[in-house]
């Protein structure tokens, strides 16, 4: 399993009700079903991913996240997960609100566009960065929302979402001293576990 999915799996309780937004080939849900007994569903828009999920025994629904989550009832899930998808949806603020409406908590991961390599690339070359954690060129990238860790935390404060846990990692998905001390400058990917305001 991918290292980022292993980190997420550690944050999910056994027997939880889980919804995975943009679930891909269903690796996370397949692991959680086998090892933690979760009751999980995935949403994805790619027919090939849906076929793979079904072959793995993962419950999956074909759904475009930009269409919203209004078909799901309040508190339908214990945890809603969105892995490195926040930056590619049209209305991330609306989607976050919906995630915390249908789930008691949510986990969101996304790449940091303020990483020092991105800043250096843009500052010295005058071009949009192509770096290890952001490997696409400006014209073929799925990323339409350029977000930093500071931007995301400001959004959480404005909407009064509780940041229960935050992990900031480097490109190898390990925590490093500098990434923990100055996450917006040295962190490449963040994992946020969020809850509703108290």
- At residue 61, does pLDDT exceed 80? yes
Residues spanned by the domain of 41: 3-112+144-195
Q: What is the reported pLDDT for 144?
A: 65
Position 141 confidence tier, pLDDT thresholds 50, 70, 90 = low
pTM equals 0.88
Mean of pLDDT over the chain: 89
Within a domain: 120: no
Q: What is the mean pLDDT of residues 176-198?
A: 88
Collapsing DSSP states into helix, strand and coil, what is residue 78?
strand
Neighbour tally for 170: CB within 10 Å: 17
* pLDDT value for 175: 83
Does 9 have pLDDT greater than 90? yes
| Tokens found for residue 176 | 């490093």
Q: For the chain, how many structural domains are there in total?
A: 1
Considering the domain boundaries, does residue 53 fall inside one?
Answer: yes
Q: What is the CA radius of gyration of the chain?
A: 17
Q: Is pLDDT above 80 for 182?
A: yes
85 domain residue, yes or no: yes
Residue 32 lies in a domain: yes
Which of 98, 107, 46 lies closest to 72 in space, CA to CA? 98
Split at pLDDT 50, 70, 90, the class of 177 is confident
The alpha carbon dihedral of 144, 150, 151, 153 has a sign of positive
Burial of 13 (0-12, 13-18, 19+ CB in 10 A): exposed
Position 136 pLDDT exceeds 70 = no
- pLDDT tier at 179, thresholds 50, 70, 90: confident
> In this predicted structure, which of 99-113, 115-129, 163-177 has the lowest mean pLDDT?
115-129
> Is residue 197 very low, low, confident or very high in pLDDT (cuts 50, 70, 90)?
confident
Q: Are 88 and 118 in contact (CB under 8 A)?
A: no
Domain-embedded: residue 43: yes
User: In the beta sheet, which residues pair with residue 108?
Assistant: 82, 192
- CATH at 8: 3.40.50.150
For residue 93, tell me if it sits in a domain.
yes
Check residue 140 and give its pLDDT. 66
Any domain includes 180:
yes
**Would you say residue 122 lies in a domain?**
no
Task: Look up residue 108 and give its two tokens.
Answer: 């969101």
């Amino acid at each position: 399993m991918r290292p980022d999915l292993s980190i997420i799996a550690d944050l999910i309780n056994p027997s939880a009700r889980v919804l995975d937004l943009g679930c891909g080939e269903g690796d996370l849900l397949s692991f959680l079903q086998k090892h933690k007994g979760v009751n999980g569903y995935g949403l994805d828009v790619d027919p090939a991913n849906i076929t793979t999920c079904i072959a793995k025994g993962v419950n999956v629904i074909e759904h475009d996240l930009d269409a919203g989550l209004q078909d799901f009832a309040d508190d339908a899930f214990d945890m809603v997960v969105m892995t490195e998808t926040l930056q590619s949806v049209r209305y991330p603020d609306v989607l976050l609100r919906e995630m915390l409406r249908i789930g008691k908590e949510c986990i969101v991961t996304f790449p940091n566009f303020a990483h020092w390599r991105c800043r250096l690339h843009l500052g010295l070359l005058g071009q949009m960065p192509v770096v290890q954690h952001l490997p696409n060129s400006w014209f073929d990238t799925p990323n339409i929302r350029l977000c930093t860790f500071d931007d995301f935390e400001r959004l959480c404060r404005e909407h009064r979402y509780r940041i229960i846990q935050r992990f900031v990692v480097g490109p190898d998905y390990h925590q490093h001293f500098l990434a923990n001390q100055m996450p917006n400058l040295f962190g490449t990917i963040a994992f946020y576990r969020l809850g509703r305001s108290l």
